[in-house]
Amino acid sequence: MKKIWFITGSSKGLGRKLVEVALLNGDQVVATAKGSSDLNDLKENYKEQILVVEMDVTNLDQIENAINSALKHFRRIDVLVNNAGFGITGASEAYTEDEVRRQLETNLYGAIAITRRIIPIMREQHSGRILQISSLGGRIGNAGLSIYHAAKFGLTGYSEAISKELKPLGIYVTSVEPGSMRTDWGGASMGFAKHIEGYEESVDKMISLRKDGKYIPSGDPVKAAKAIFDLSGNPEPPLHLILGSDAVGILKKANAARDAEFEKWIDISNSIDHDDSKKTHSQEVPKFI
């Protein structure tokens, strides 16, 4: 069965490649973007398969309009992909209030707003896939990207929670977590907060890495888009999908460090139970956890 996709951030990068893959496979796509003119070539080549809608994910009226247009045009939405996002590198104290708010509104609040408005549609259909394009940065924090990480950790946590709400309704949620990719995210699209002295050994190294052009991401956005497309049809999709060998290696190392730290401090962790509580770890845990 051909699917109807609703994809945000469709004009470039991974979003654009995913639109192309879906169209090439005969599916229909609602492609949303702030700069929809970048999709004119796809509108010309796939007239019957694509609906292009101008949408800023921070504008609730535009979100409502895009979803209503999608339903009017295609009658349903089978796959939601929250892909729109951007990053700014800098020390946490260096960001302006506007820079903090723009990152959170785009990378987190926008995705939540769109998801909450599409859930009722999928609930009525008794089916649907929600693919949140989070990041390895939704599992591991690094110097220089604190606000981006705040948004992506939030999106990953939100996705985990709603997956438990929605799975009994026939709606599956996956947090897609890529590592580095050869898109504009870390290049032309990357912003930088004002420079502050004192961060030479942490933030400044990250900034140099991004500005000097010597770091070449390993991830291929075309291959990533194909993997995400295949995921949409998998009958047992994962809650988390890591993409990229760099992300796999980094996550394994981080998980090992977390496990070691957890074990080192476990006596303290166990020490704060109330004296009249059961001294056992065999208490029944709710099945939804």
* pLDDT on residue 253: 94
CA gap 286, 289 in Å, rounded: 6
186-199 pLDDT per residue, tens? 555 678 888 999 99
pLDDT for position 288:
59
Share of the chain above pLDDT 70, in %: 92
The pLDDT score that the predictor gives to residue 138 is 87
Question: Which pairs count as long-range contacts for 95-99, CB under 8 Å and 24+ apart, including other chains?
Answer: 95/147, 95/193, 96/193, 96/194, 99/147, 99/191, 99/193
Q: Is the dihedral of CA 48, 52, 53, 55 positive or negative?
A: positive
Provide the token pair at 131: 């693919």
**13 or 116, higher pLDDT:** 116
46, 95, 109, 148: the active-site residue: 148
- 109 labelled catalytic: no
**What is the pLDDT at residue 266?**
96
Residue-level pLDDT at 208: 81
Residue with tokens 């009958």: 235
12-46, pLDDT tens digit by residue? Answer: 899 999 999 999 999 999 999 998 788 999 999 99
Higher pLDDT, 103 or 204: 103
Rounded average pLDDT over 179-192: 68
pLDDT-derived band at 167 (thresholds 50, 70, 90) equals very high
- pLDDT for 103 equals 94
What ranges do the domains of the chain cover?
Answer: 4-270
8 Å CB contact between 163 and 230? no
Residue 204 pLDDT greater than 70, yes or no: yes
Question: Does 148 qualify as catalytic in the annotation?
Answer: yes
pLDDT digits (tens, 9 = 90+) for 72-109: 999 999 999 999 998 899 999 999 999 999 999 999 99
pLDDT of the residue at 112: 98
**What would the CATH number be for the domain defined by 4-270?**
3.40.50.720
Tell which residue, 133, 116, 145, 122, has the closest CA to residue 15.
133
281 pLDDT above the threshold of 60: no
Q: What is the pLDDT of residues 217-255, one digit of tens each?
A: 678 899 999 999 999 999 999 999 999 999 999 999 999
- What pLDDT shows up at residue 279? 57
More confident residue, 248 or 174: 174
Asked if 170 contacts 130 with a C-beta cutoff of 8 angstroms, the reply is no
Catalytic site residue from 152, 175, 199, 232: 152
Q: Kindly report the number of other CB atoms within 10 A of residue 75's CB atom.
A: 8
| Catalytic residue selected from 134, 135, 163, 175 | 134
